[in-house]
Amino acid sequence: MATRTSNPQPPFRVDVVDQFEGHCEDGYGLAGSYDRLEDAIAEARRITETAIKEAGSYKQWDGMGDAGLVYDASGKLVWDGIKVAEAEHKKKSRSP
């Protein structure tokens, strides 16, 4: 499930977080700035999905790989690639 704030305002910043480095200065990188939330989410999703694919599996990526995060103009997190990937993995795991 996506993390969203009510009424997020542009511009939207997409950051890449290295889960291994954690939420520290060295663990972040700016991936871009977008006027449309949909474009920012698409880029953050691409970053996250590419990292999972490069890791070989969700299990190998979890806690170690890169993920995309989207922040609004006020700096509030509006989309979290880590939480989305986790929710999607759980959903797939429950499917027959």
**Is 2 within a domain?**
no
pTM of the model: 0.84
pLDDT tens over the chain, length 96 residues? 455 557 899 999 999 988 776 554 554 688 899 999 999 999 999 999 999 999 999 999 998 889 999 999 999 999 999 999 999 998 888 866
Q: Which of 37, 51, 34, 33 is nearest to 79 (CA)?
A: 37
Q: Write the DSSP symbol of residue 22.
A: -
**Is 32 within a domain?**
yes
Domain count, the chain: 1
Domain that holds residue 90: 12-94
